[in-house]
């Protein structure tokens, strides 16, 4: 992110990059083989929207994690370490919740795979970090 200290500009840039990556990922899903005819169009649309949203979140969380790691280098303490762990857990959530990852590992995005549970486990870790941080 460089030396730019304007938070609005950096936030707008990261958001624009996230939107672009989400859009590209959503369009890339069309490269996969077409789903069977018995799968409703609404489901296909919702999976594409999920790809967009989870990719967008993934890009934002990578930028947030980068920011917290940079902050930790300047201010190493328990609080910034917790922010890094929280961001990492949410980043892993966004990654494992993305239907593209499900397909890459050979599982359908409709369920019946470990990816139904794994993303929620990462959210659980994030919640534990937040709870711990609120107690100290």
CA distance 81 to 99: 30
Q: Where are the domains of the chain?
A: 7-135
Taking 80 as the threshold, does the pLDDT of residue 44 lie above it? no
CA distance 65 to 84: 6
pLDDT score of 136: 59
Q: How confident is the model at residue 113 (pLDDT cuts 50, 70, 90)?
A: low
Most confident segment among 46-50, 51-55, 116-120? 51-55
CA distance 93 to 27: 22
CA distance 3 to 40: 48
What is the token pair recorded at 118? 């794994």
pLDDT score of 1: 46
CA distance 108 to 47: 11
In the DSSP assignment, the letter for residue 34 is: P
Q: Where are the alpha helices (DSSP H) in the chain?
A: 7-28, 41-74, 78-97, 99-104, 118-135
Provide mean pLDDT across the span 49-62.
89
Q: At what angle do helices 78-97 and 118-135 cross, to 10 degrees?
A: 160
């Amino acid at each position: 992110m460089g030396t730019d200290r304007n938070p609005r500009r950096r936030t707008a840039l990261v958001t624009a990059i996230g939107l672009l990556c989400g859009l590209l990922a959503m369009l890339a899903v069309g490269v996969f083989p077409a789903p069977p005819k018995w799968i409703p169009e609404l489901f296909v649309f919702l999976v594409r929207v999920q790809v967009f949203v989870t990719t967008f979140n993934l890009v934002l969380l990578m930028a947030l994690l980068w920011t917290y790691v940079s902050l930790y280098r300047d201010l190493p303490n328990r609080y910034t370490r917790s922010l890094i762990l929280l961001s990492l857990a949410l980043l892993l959530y966004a990654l494992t919740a993305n239907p593209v990852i499900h397909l890459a590992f050979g599982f359908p995005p409709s369920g019946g795979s470990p990816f139904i549970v794994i993303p929620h486990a990462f959210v659980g870790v994030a919640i534990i970090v937040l709870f711990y941080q609120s107690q100290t």
